[in-house]
Amino acid sequence: MRQLTRRLCVRFVERTDERHYVAVGKRRELGCSSVVGRQPDASGGQTLNLRSPECLQQAGVIQHELLHALGLMHEQARPDRDGHVRVLWENIHPDYKSDFEKAPEEYVSTYGVPYDYASIMHYPNNAFSKNKKNTIIAKDNPNLQLGQRNSPTEKDLEKVRRMYNCASS
């Protein structure tokens, strides 16, 4: 949180009596997850789930989930993704195919920020593979490594800045 706060106008504060908030904790199911954006019907706040050990092994995994809570979707869910990457549906585990669907244009904005292959919000090449083969590749360079969980890119941060109408930090 501190790393994001240093680079954004968004501030994370300890909750007192706020009606809408993100509760960092653990849900019953394993995994690292957060819903995208503020959920107006989330009574008791929305949970940023950090139940699996791998959630805490890299700060970037937590930042990925915090950026979901702030409103960022996965990069490969952008409506314009087909111009940049190819999804290899035949290699995706059937339980995760819906995770590769594009978001409708009326539901998500790119905020005018170019596609970001290195985004902290991008799935890696072999995400949810059923056969250890790639599930998503860059169209221009099939060998390009997609995504990472080290830290947000400048494009990730710029999207948040535009989303929250704040100047560059």
SS3 at position 73 = coil
| CA–CA dist 23, 120 (Å, integer) | 21
What is the DSSP secondary structure assignment for residue 32, as one 8-state letter? E
Q: Closest Cα partner for 111 from 11, 90, 119, 40?
A: 119
Candidate list 14, 29, 54, 65, residue with the active-site label:
65
Q: Closest Cα partner for 64 from 102, 135, 105, 120?
A: 120
| CA–CA dist 167, 156 (Å, integer) | 14
Q: Write out the E strands in 77-141.
A: 85-87, 136-138
Say whether 65 is catalytic: yes
In sequence order, which residues have a C-beta less than 8 Å from that of residue 70 and are 6 or more positions away? 10, 37, 160, 163, 164
Which residues sit opposite 136 in a β-bridge? 87
**Catalytic residue list:** 65
